[in-house]
Each structure stands twice: as structure tokens, then as C-alpha cells.
């Protein structure tokens, strides 16, 4: 039994924030699942590194180019195959946990972050194309994303809501999930199989707040606010999913929308490399971790129920931050905007990488490049 198996006894699942064809082909992903990983997440930055930054996909790209596929069609074909194969590996976990875990996520194009109708249409199309019950479509918690989330949940589509940084954003996401389930139930649908996670980003909050604190020459709250912010979301989640509206849905078999801690790799080298795992362990939660952070936690992480501890202290720290004149709501809004822009830039870079490989292929250079690497 690994530490990841032990975490399940505290109500938390670890998902792997990485995907690449070589992981699947080599058996490395299966080994991670055997060691206690319960799901997989992806994003445009991960696919950019996987597809444009490796030779793993060169043979597949060559075939797709020969079939006359466009750059975006090539990317989508590659991504869908990876997600489907990963979902198939995860299917036993999905079955063993009765649909609680065993999911893999694929994100709608970040260029649609401010387009509700476009997001809904693409999410529907991707979910149908993937054809697996244990996939989630990632939709950002932008103002345009919130109504899309409600609509998609109302159609029974599993959603991983991404780019949540602040408590107000989280509350809107949870409300959209509940409203979507109510819509599904009202239409005669079965709410039982629908699953969703709310991906609450952590480390980037400390990066931004620490900078604001440093500008004020105040070190008292350095490295504290991201965890305090996450604990505030955990408290709010427990309140939301104990209300009358939720109890009615739960009686119909609905699943709680779990909080998923994202961006949990420590960015400040002065902080422990397992900080955002050790301090956020609690029931009905997921932590999706990048490779280096997962390895660090397996080596020296601490398994204990920590998320529900120190709530009063966390609330006090948030109040102290406000007294210093630092507007956390404004910071988290900016972080979401930056996150959308970052993913859009990664997607643009990914498309450029596919186009570059297409050009090499058409010029006879792709295979030479692969051989050189």
C-alpha cells in the first residue's frame, strides 16, 4: 500500500496532472494507477509539451497529414485517442468506485472561454466523440463558462470546472452544478451517473499574494493565503452540499461536486515541495498533481486529515490580509484572466507546433528530426 492508497482512507483521491502517449505505451501510466493514482487531468499546456515538444506523435501526424487533416483536426484526433486510451485504463477504477473516480479530463478550446454557446457546442461534441462514461470535459469558471456548466450538467455531461481561484467564483460554480442537476431531473433524466469536480487553483494564489505582501514589506502572511483560501472554499462546500436543495437531489442519487485542488506544485523553492498536498487532505476532495510533486509526496509527504484543521486560523489570516488593504477578490479575478490567457497561448503554440511538424513532413524533414532526437 502506498501513501496514495492511504489518502483514500481520508476521503481524498490523487489524480495525475499529466498525459503523453509514451506514458500509455510504456506502461508507466498503468504503474501509476497500480500505485494509487485514481484519475488523470490534462490541459492545453500539457498537450503542447506532449505533442509539439516530443516525437511521440510523429507517425500519427504523418498519417493524419496524408489524410488531409487540418492542424486543429490533427490535434483533436491525437488528443481524443490519448483520452480514450487513458479512459480505458481507468475504467476498472471507475467501476470499482461506482463512478466516484476513474476519470480523465479533456478541455474545450481556451479560445472559447468567453463564448457560452461555443463552449456548450464543443463540450457536447467532444463528449460524444470520446464515447466513454468516465471522461470529463473541462470548462473554465469564467462568466461565460458558468451558464455553459449549468447547461451541460443539465444534459448529463460530466464536467471538470477549471480555473477557479476565488470563493465567489467557486460559489457560482457550485450553484451552476446544482441548477444543472435540477434541470436534468426536471427533464426526467437520471442525476445519479453525473459527476463533476470544481478545480480550485492553489499555488498561484500564494505567488500573487506573496508579491503583494513583499511590496508592503510584510512577511507575516507569506505562504499562508493559498491554503487559507482553499480551506474557506472547503467550509463553503460543506455548507452548500448540506442545504435543502442539495438534500433533495441527493435523495435522487446525485453526487457531490468534489473540490479538486489544482496547481499544487510548489512554485516558491523556499516552501516545502509537498506543501499543497500535506495541508489540503480531507473528505470529498481530489488533488491533481504534476509528476515531480507526486514523486515528492510518495517519498516524504505526510498523510493526515489536515483540511478541516485550523479553520479559525485560516479565516483570521484572510481577515488580516483584508486589513492590510490587499484585495484577494481582485487578485483571484486577475489570476483567472491570466490563466485563460496562458492556456490560450499554449493552444496557439500547440497549433504552431503541429503546423511546424506538418511543414517538416511535407519537406521530408520530420523523420530526420525524429531520428536526431
Q: What is the mean pLDDT of residues 267-272?
A: 96
pLDDT score at 364: 62
Say whether pLDDT at 372 is over 60: no
Q: Report the pLDDT averaged over residues 185-206.
A: 98
Per-residue pLDDT at 332: 98
Read off the pLDDT band of 54 (50, 70, 90).
confident
Query: What is the band of 358 on the pLDDT scale with cuts at 50, 70, 90?
Result: confident
Residue of 3, 49, 63, 138 with catalytic role: 138
Query: Distances in Å between the alpha carbon of 101 and those of 14, 93, 95?
Result: 9, 6, 9
Catalytic-residue membership of 138:
yes
Q: Residue 85 has which C-alpha cell? A: 486510451
Cβ contacts of 135 within 8 Å, gap of 6 or more: 83, 87, 103, 104, 105, 106, 127, 158
The pLDDT score that the predictor gives to residue 11 is 97
Tell me the pTM. Answer: 0.95
User: Beta 12-17 vs 39-41: how paired, if at all?
Assistant: parallel
How are beta strands 135-140 and 159-164 bridged, if at all? parallel
Look at residue 55 and tell me whether its pLDDT is greater than 90. no
For residues 203 and 263, the answer to whether their CB atoms sit within 8 Å is yes
Cβ count near 155 (within 10 Å) = 16
> Could you give the 3-state DSSP secondary structure of residue 321?
helix
What's the confidence (pLDDT) of residue 47? 92
Q: How many structural domains does the chain have?
A: 1
E-state strands within 66-215: 104-107, 135-140, 159-164, 196-201
Domain CATH for 48: 3.20.20.70
How far is Cα of residue 287 from the mean position of the Cα atoms in its chain? 9
The pLDDT assigned to 360 comes to 81
Least confident of 31-35, 99-103, 295-299, 355-359: 355-359
Residue 367, pLDDT score:
52
The torsion angle over the Cα atoms of residues 340, 345, 346 and 348, rounded to 10 degrees, is 130
pLDDT per position as a tens digit, 202-222: 999 999 999 999 999 999 999
The band of 373, judged by pLDDT with boundaries at 50, 70 and 90, is very low
Give the DSSP H or E segment for 352. helix 328-362
| Beta-strand runs (E) in 202-335 | 258-262, 285-289
Mean pLDDT, range 315-322, rounded to an integer: 98
Task: For residue range 27-53, list pLDDT tens digits in order.
Answer: 999 999 999 999 999 998 999 999 988
Boundaries of domain holding 314: 3-372
Cell of residue 310, nine digits: 485550523
Q: Residue 88's pLDDT band (boundaries 50, 70, 90)? A: very high
- Percent share of the chain, pLDDT over 90: 90
Amino acid at each position: 500500500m502506498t501513501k496514495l492508497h492511504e489518502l483514500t482512507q481520508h476521503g481524498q483521491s490523487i489524480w495525475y496532472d499529466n498525459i503523453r502517449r509514451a506514458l500509455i505505451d510504456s506502461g508507466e501510466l498503468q504503474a501509476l494507477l497500480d500505485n494509487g493514482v485514481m484519475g488523470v487531468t490534462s490541459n492545453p499546456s500539457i498537450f503542447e509539451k506532449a505533442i509539439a515538444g516530443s516525437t511521440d506523435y510523429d507517425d500519427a501526424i504523418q498519417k493524419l497529414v496524408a489524410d488531409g487533416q487540418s492542424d486543429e483536426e490533427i490535434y483533436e484526433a491525437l488528443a481524443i485517442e490519448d483520452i480514450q486510451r487513458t479512459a480505458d485504463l481507468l475504467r476498472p477504477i471507475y467501476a470499482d468506485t461506482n463512478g466516484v473516480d476513474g476519470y480523465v479530463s479533456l478541455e474545450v478550446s481556451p479560445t472559447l472561454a468567453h463564448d457560452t454557446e461555443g463552449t456548450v457546442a464543443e463540450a457536447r461534441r467532444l463528449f460524444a466523440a470520446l464515447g466513454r462514461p468516465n471522461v470529463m470535459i473541462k470548462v473554465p469558471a469564467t462568466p461565460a463558462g458558468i451558464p455553459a456548466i449549468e447547461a451541460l450538467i443539465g444534459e448529463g455531461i460530466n464536467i471538470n470546472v477549471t480555473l477557479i481561484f476565488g470563493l465567489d467564483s467557486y460559489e457560482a460554480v457550485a450553484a451552476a452544478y446544482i441548477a444543472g442537476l435540477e434541470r436534468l431531473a426536471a427533464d426526467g433524466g437520471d442525476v445519479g451517473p453525473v459527476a463533476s469536480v470544481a478545480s480550485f487553483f492553489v499555488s498561484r494564489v500564494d505567488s500573487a499574494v506573496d508579491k503583494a505582501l513583499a511590496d508592503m514589506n510584510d512577511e507575516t502572511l507569506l505562504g499562508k493565503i493559498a491554503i487559507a483560501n482553499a480551506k474557506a472554499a472547503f467550509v463553503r462546500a460543506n455548507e452548500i452540499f448540506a442545504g435543502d436543495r442539495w438534500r433533495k437531489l441527493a435523495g435522487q442519487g446525485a453526487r457531490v461536486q468534489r473540490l479538486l485542488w489544482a496547481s499544487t506544485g510548489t512554485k516558491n523553492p523556499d516552501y516545502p515541495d509537498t506543501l499543497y498536498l500535506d495541508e489540503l487532505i480531507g473528505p470529498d476532495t481530489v488533488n491533481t498533481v504534476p509528476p515531480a510533486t507526486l514523486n515528492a509526496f510518495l517519498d516524504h509527504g505526510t498523510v493526515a486529515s489536515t483540511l478541516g484543521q485550523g479553520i479559525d486560523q485560516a479565516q483570521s489570516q484572510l481577515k488580516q490580509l483584508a486589513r492590510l488593504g490587499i484585495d484577494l477578490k481582485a487578485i483571484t479575478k486577475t489570476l483567472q484572466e491570466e490563466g485563460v490567457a496562458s492556456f490560450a497561448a499554449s493552444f496557439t503554440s500547440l497549433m504552431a507546433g503541429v503546423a511546424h511538424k506538418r511543414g517538416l513532413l511535407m519537406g521530408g524533414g520530420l523523420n530526420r528530426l525524429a531520428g536526431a532526437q
